[in-house]
Amino acid sequence: MNTKARHKRNLIYDEKGILAFAARLKKLRKELGFTQSQLAFEAGISLSQVARIETARINPTLSTVFALSRAMNVSLHELFNFELPDN
Amino acid sequence: MNTKARHKRNLIYDEKGILAFAARLKKLRKELGFTQSQLAFEAGISLSQVARIETARINPTLSTVFALSRAMNVSLHELFNFELPDN
DNA sequence: AATATTTATAGCACATGTGCTATAAATATT
DNA sequence: AATATTTATAGCACATGTGCTATAAATATT
C-alpha cells in the first residue's frame, strides 16, 4: 500500500435519482415499442450503454440523455416528467 | 508516434444541447438570486464545475444535474422545460 | 476611480462514462 | 421443449467529468 496519503474525493453518485431515471427510460422505451438495440441504434449509442442505463449501473452524461430523447422523439420536458427522489 | 493503429472512437458531445442546458441553468439560477458559489455550495459540487457547466465547457452527468435541481428547489420537469435543439 | 465580489480559466490527479467484444441469462416465439 | 431474440454482465482501453487550487477577467459596490 502506498504510504502517501492520497486524498479520496467523493464524487456524487445519486443512486435514487439514477434509479428513477432508469425506470422512466425503460417505461418510455417499452411504451414506444423499441428494443434496447433499436433505441441504441437510433440514438447512436451502444447497446451495452442502454442496458447499463436501464439497470442503473452508470450515471450517464447529458449528451447521452439528449441522444435518447431525440431517438425516442420524446421531449426532455416529458422524459424528465417524474419525481426526483430525495437524496 | 505509435505505429499501432489505435481506434479513435467518437463519443457524443452534444454542443447545441449542452449550450441550451447551460443557458437554462444560468437563467434559473439568476432568477432565484443565487451566485454560482452559493449554488455550488447548496448542491455540494464545486464552484469550478458550476462555472464550467454554465459556460458549456463540459457535459455533466445526471447526478450533477440532479444535485442542481434539488439545490435550486426546481423540479426536473421545470429544469428541462426548454427546447432541445436539433443536432 | 478604487475596492470587493463574482465569474471564467487553467492544470493537475483521480474517478468514471463510453464503445467494443464476447457471453450468459432471461424472455419470447415457434 | 427447442430455438430465437432480447436483455444483462464483464473486462478492456480510452475519453472525459469532477474536485481542488490558483489566478485572471469581468462586474458590482462604495
- Residues A55-87: pLDDT tens digits? 999 999 999 999 999 999 999 999 999 999 998
B47 touches strand C (CB under 7 A): yes
The closest CB to that of A12, out of B11, B63, B86, belongs to: B63
What pLDDT was estimated at residue B8?
Answer: 65
Considering the entire predicted model, what is its pTM?
Answer: 0.93
How much of chain A, in percent, has pLDDT values that exceed 70? 91
> Would an 8 Å CB–CB cutoff place A61 in contact with chain B?
yes
Closest CA to B18 of B66, B53, B61, B64: B53
Partners of B21 on chain A (C-beta within 8 Å) are 62
Q: What is the pLDDT of residue B9?
A: 74
When computed from its CA atoms, the radius of gyration of chain A, rounded to whole angstroms, is: 16
d(CA A11, CA B20): 25
Confidence of residue B87 (pLDDT cuts 50, 70, 90): confident
Distance from CA of B57 to the nearest CA of A (A): 13
pLDDT, tens only, B37-71: 999 999 999 999 999 999 999 999 999 999 999 99
